[in-house]
Structure 1
Amino acid sequence: MLAVFEESVAKSPQELKSPVSDDASLKNGRALIDYFASNANGSVAINLGSSGSLAYSTDRQNPLLPRMFAVVDDIYCLFEGHLDNITLMKQQYGLSKTANEVGIVIEAYRTLRDRGPYPADQVVRDLHGKYAFVIFDASTKTSFIALDADGSVPFFWGTDLEGRLVFCDDSQLIKMGCGKSFAPFPKGCFFTTSGGLKSFEHPLNALKPMPRVDSQGQVCGATFKVDSSVKKDTGMPRVGSAANWSSQF
């Protein structure tokens, strides 16, 4: 799966950009989507207008980590993997017996957005399994991306030459668009438009960038690790009944 977002939807962390000059012949995010759509069998590409693009294919997927896509009420979701507690999640969100993982994730996001009773880290932590997912909410022009606590699904993020943030499950493909400005997406973490990168396993701790060096000894995009020595401000903002909680995660 492949997602490319403009800076207004997903602003790349500065540390993700490699200090090494990348080849100007790299494909920008939009060209990367076109390349994927032309070369992956049975691929589907979705144009999100000025916000970016999504693309996926079920070709050559791991049968234990299937790829899924769905759109519900302007919420787009790419999902790869499976949930171990799918029955419990369907009951929790009042979904039908036929609901699958991608439908559960969309409903979990929508419940969170529309004044859910739990913080975002709790909602993601309740999803047990092996997964990575990308959500784009067209109604608010926001993104929500997460990877399970064990990093079970190969999942990467990077910055193209024009500052777009790219998410992909194929390291070779993301190299074509981001060069050395990419890294594995941090396991046990989620990324949102308003809140940036956070750990859902350790929500009270900050994340610190760690230099990533490739096999040639060159510095690439940084990885991010939980900093056990730095605690975040835990003050809970007061939210009125008319407030939009989408800005709180």
Structure 2
Amino acid sequence: MLAVFDKSIAECPEGLQSSVTGSVSALKDGLLANHFSSIHPDSVSINLASSGLMAFTTEKQNPLLPRLFGVVDDIFCLFQGQIENIPLLKQQYGLNKTANEVSIVIEAYRTLRDRGPYPAYQVLRELGGKFAFILYDGSSKTSFIAADAQGSVPFFWGIDSEGHIVFSEDKEIVEKACEKSSAPFPKGCFFTTSGGLKSYEHPANELKAMPRVDSSGQVCGATFKVDIETKRSASMPRVGSAANWSALY
């Protein structure tokens, strides 16, 4: 799976941004989309106009960590992995018997977006299993990305020369556009358009960027670790009824 988002949809965290070294634009002349389709001839690409692109393939996938794609009401979701407590989540979200992992993620997001009763970190904790997913809401032009706490699914991100963030489970795909400005996506974390990068395992703590250095001593992206010394503000900002409050957590 592949997603490239404009910085208006996914603004790069400062720690990852400071490591930009390349000169490649992932979106210019369809560079990364064409590269992805050349590797996966059966792939499907979704043009998100000025917001970016998404691409998906079922070719050469791990049967234990299958890839899924779904669209509901202009919400696009790429999912890889397996959720173990599907029956419980189907009941919780009122989904029918045919619902799968990607249906559950989309419905969980819609619950958050429409002022559901749970904060985002709690909803993600309830997804038992091995997963990484990329969600884009075309109606509000927002993104929602997450990975499980064990990092069970290989999942990488990086930033290209124009500030676009690239997400993929294929490290080579990310490095094609981001060169050394790439890194594994942090375990147990989620990323949103309005809230940036946060840990759902430790929602009260800030995240600290730790530069990654390769064997030649060059900085190549950054990893993000929970900073046990720094706590987030405990107060809840007041928001209007139409606000997406889920991003505050």
Normalising to structure 1: TM-score of the pair?
0.95
User: How far 1:69 sits from its partner (Å)?
Assistant: 0.3
Q: Alignment partner of 1:7: what SS?
A: coil
The separation in 1 between residues aligned to 2:118 and 2:95, in whole angstroms, is 18
Residue identity matched to 1:139: S
User: How far 1:20 sits from its partner (Å)?
Assistant: 6.7
The separation in 1 between residues aligned to 2:57 and 2:151, in whole angstroms, is 21
What does 1:197-212 align with in structure 2 at a 5 Å threshold? 197-212=197-212
Question: CA 1:43–1:210 in 2, change beyond 3 Å: closer, same or farther?
Answer: same
Residue identity matched to 1:52: G
Q: Is the 8 A contact 2:206 2:230 kept in 1?
A: yes
Residue identity matched to 1:68: L
Residue identity matched to 1:221: G
Instruction: Give structure 1 stretches of 5+ with no counterpart.
Output: none
User: How far 1:18 sits from its partner (Å)?
Assistant: 5.5
Q: Is the 8 A contact 1:18 1:219 kept in 2?
A: no
Per-residue CA deviations over 1:213-242 (Å, capped at 9, x if unaligned) read: 123221111100000111000102234545
Is 1:80 equivalent to 2:71 in the alignment? Answer: no
Residue identity matched to 1:91: Q
Residue identity matched to 2:38: S
User: How far 1:91 sits from its partner (Å)?
Assistant: 0.5
Question: CA 1:39–1:85 in 2, change beyond 3 Å: closer, same or farther?
Answer: same
User: How far 1:211 sits from its partner (Å)?
Assistant: 1.1
Give the corresponding residue for 1:173. Answer: 173
Q: Is the 8 A contact 1:61 1:67 kept in 2?
A: yes
Give the corresponding residue for 1:36. Answer: 36
Q: Is the 8 A contact 1:144 1:190 kept in 2?
A: yes
Give the corresponding residue for 2:105. Answer: 105
Q: Is the 8 A contact 2:4 2:26 kept in 1?
A: no
The separation in 1 between residues aligned to 2:73 and 2:207, in whole angstroms, is 33
Give the corresponding residue for 2:14. Answer: 14
Residue identity matched to 1:135: L
After TM superposition, the structure 1 stretch with the greater mean CA deviation from structure 2, 191-200 or 118-127, is 118-127
The separation in 1 between residues aligned to 2:132 and 2:18, in whole angstroms, is 24
Residue identity matched to 1:5: F
The separation in 1 between residues aligned to 2:177 and 2:47, in whole angstroms, is 18
The separation in 2 between residues aligned to 1:242 and 1:190, in whole angstroms, is 22
The separation in 2 between residues aligned to 1:47 and 1:65, in whole angstroms, is 25
Q: Is the 8 A contact 1:189 1:200 kept in 2?
A: yes
Q: Alignment partner of 2:68: what SS?
A: strand
Count of residue correspondences: 247
Residue identity matched to 1:8: S
Q: Alignment partner of 1:230: what SS?
A: strand
Residue identity matched to 1:178: C
The separation in 1 between residues aligned to 2:114 and 2:248, in whole angstroms, is 11
User: How far 1:203 sits from its partner (Å)?
Assistant: 0.0
Residue identity matched to 1:28: A
Per-residue CA deviations over 1:86-112 (Å, capped at 9, x if unaligned) read: 111101000011100000000000011
Give the corresponding residue for 2:186. Answer: 186
Q: Is the 8 A contact 2:25 2:162 kept in 1?
A: no
The separation in 2 between residues aligned to 1:72 and 1:117, in whole angstroms, is 21
Give the corresponding residue for 1:163. Answer: 163
Q: Is the 8 A contact 2:114 2:244 kept in 1?
A: yes
Q: Alignment partner of 1:209: what SS?
A: strand
Per-residue CA deviations over 1:13-56 (Å, capped at 9, x if unaligned) read: 1221364733x4x4524411121023213100000011000001
Q: Alignment partner of 2:107: what SS?
A: helix
Q: Is the 8 A contact 1:83 1:129 kept in 2?
A: yes
Give the corresponding residue for 2:131. Answer: 131
The separation in 1 between residues aligned to 2:219 and 2:240, in whole angstroms, is 46
Normalising to structure 2: TM-score of the pair?
0.95
Instruction: Give structure 2 stretches of 5+ with no counterpart.
Output: none
